[in-house]
Amino acid sequence: MDMKPFTRSFAADFLTGDNSVHRPLTNNRMIYKIALWVLLLISILVLIRLAPILTKPEIIPSDDFVRIWAAGKLNLQGENPFDPIRIEQLQIEVGDYKSGLNANSIMLNPPWAIPLVMPFGLFNYPLSRLAWLITSTFLILISSHMLWLIYSHNPKHHWLVLISVFIFAPTISVLEKGQITVLILLGITGFVYFSVINRNDWLAGVFLALASIKPQMIVLFWIVLLIWIIQQRRWLIIISTSISVLSLTLLAMIFNPHIIEQYLGMLQSYQISDWAVPTIGSYLRFFWLGTQRFWLQFLPVMLGGIWVIYYWYRHHKSWNWVDELPIILLVSMVVSPYSWTYDLVILVPAMVLATILIATDWKRWTTLLLAILFLGISLLDLVLHMKLDDFWFIWVAPALLIWFLLVRWQYPKPQNWTSVPIA
């Protein structure tokens, strides 16, 4: 396997769009860099001109982000960010509907997630929503670029990766809903980059802290991660993650000293079991065996845990997060006890790897077939969401898993694969 070590910082790679170590800067690449910066400057100027229009509620209406914004705002004011009554009051003030205090009316992420959204609580909702949209788009771009560096660093694949990421239905949905899952995507991607590619266990732990703000989505990932850390003795990752989580929690407590008590109180009183989410466990409860059997919600992930331990046992001697992460994430989302279709944006690593594998041998007839299948899944997801509730989209995660397995079957990793070194 032909591999090149990374000796430059990720920041330098991101600015140049390349990670070759001693490649001369040709005229074409200089023109590309200049054009990229000019385009960025023009985009910023256009955005500044459009900002007064885009921040109007009728242009960007309130959505899931209103709960995130309200939680950040309340914590800044020293109030309870998990209080459904106060959050509903704020969402009504910005023109949102009255939720009736249902399970969607508050931000349920742990206390260390609150400081990440507090800056957006400094501004009025329309301006914060626009800022969050820009921030989320930028974080997806950063994640996509890091994944390109991880899986290819071939300039021919760069734009192809970006296109595949931004036509991916969950990417569109997470931006439309204003959800926080983009931080989990960045956390997972940053962990792989800094634990395997450009080894820095402290930074890998910092990124893992981001991934931990929705831990239920990737339970299988956490199981394998713990076993891997013990086997590799990468204790710095655990230390860094713990320090990061603690620091974020303490930052939230500076403004609201009672946030941990308030969070624990919310977990005891809030009826999370009433959620009808598009997961196998939820279907077992709501359709077949009874909603009162709450433990069924976690049955699939228990079975997934058995599978992932067996999978680790089969592959642990040659374990490489670069190769194994996509399948772990895909199976995690299939068996997740609680997730929504926009949460599937964390599957971007699998989509990027599949795109690059296909691009290595794009002249085959199966390329067109798999491309149509990928577009069909995304299009069907987006179109059906116009009429149906998210509960009916249990099929999306399994469909993406099957699609990815078909790609790996038809496009095995070539002998001249230009991947990156294993730590």
Q: Each residue of 342-400: pLDDT tens digit?
A: 999 999 999 999 999 998 877 788 888 999 999 999 999 999 999 998 899 999 999 99
pLDDT of 13 strictly over 80: no
pLDDT, one tens digit per residue, over 198-231 is 899 999 999 999 999 999 899 999 999 999 999 9
pLDDT of residue 60: 60
pLDDT of 17 strictly over 90: no
Highest-confidence range of 44-48, 116-120, 127-131, by mean pLDDT? 116-120
Radius of gyration of the chain (CA): 22
pLDDT of 264 strictly over 70: yes
| Residue 51 neighbours by CB distance under 10 Å | 14
pLDDT of 89 strictly over 90: no
Measured CA to CA in angstroms, residue 401 lies from 240, 244, 312, 328, 395 at distances of 32, 32, 18, 10, 10
Q: Which residue has the higher pLDDT, 288 or 51?
A: 288
Q: How far, in Å, CA of 128 to CA of 65, rounded? A: 9
pLDDT of residue 420: 47
pTM score: 0.86
Q: Which residue has the higher pLDDT, 39 or 64?
A: 64
Beta strands in 329-412 (DSSP E): none
**94: pLDDT confidence band, cut at 50, 70 and 90?**
confident
How high does pLDDT run on average in the chain? 85
What mean pLDDT is predicted for residues 32-46? 69
DSSP letters for 146-185: HHHHHHT--HHHHHHHHHHHHTSHHHHHHHHHT-THHHHH
- Window from 19-23, 207-211, 285-289, 404-408 with minimum mean pLDDT: 19-23
What mean pLDDT is predicted for residues 42-48? 68
pLDDT of 193 strictly over 80: yes
Cα angle 329, 316, 414 (rounded to 5 degrees) comes to 70
pLDDT of residue 34: 74
Q: Give the list of residues 6+ apart from residue 349 with CB closer than 8 angstroms, or none.
A: 147, 188, 189, 192, 325, 326, 329
Q: Which two tokens stand for residue 175?
A: 């931006």
pLDDT of residue 22: 40
pLDDT of 414 strictly over 60: no
- What ranges do the domains of the chain cover? 55-410
With b meaning 16 or more CB within 10 Å and e meaning fewer, what string describes 244-264?
A: bbeebbebbbebbeebeebbe
pLDDT, one tens digit per residue, over 96-111 is 655 544 445 788 899 9
pLDDT of residue 1: 36
DSSP letter (8 states) at residue 106: S
**28: pLDDT confidence band, cut at 50, 70 and 90?**
low
pLDDT of 95 strictly over 80: no
pLDDT of residue 172: 92
pLDDT of residue 4: 41
pLDDT, one tens digit per residue, over 147-178 is 999 998 788 888 889 999 999 999 999 998 88
pLDDT of residue 16: 46
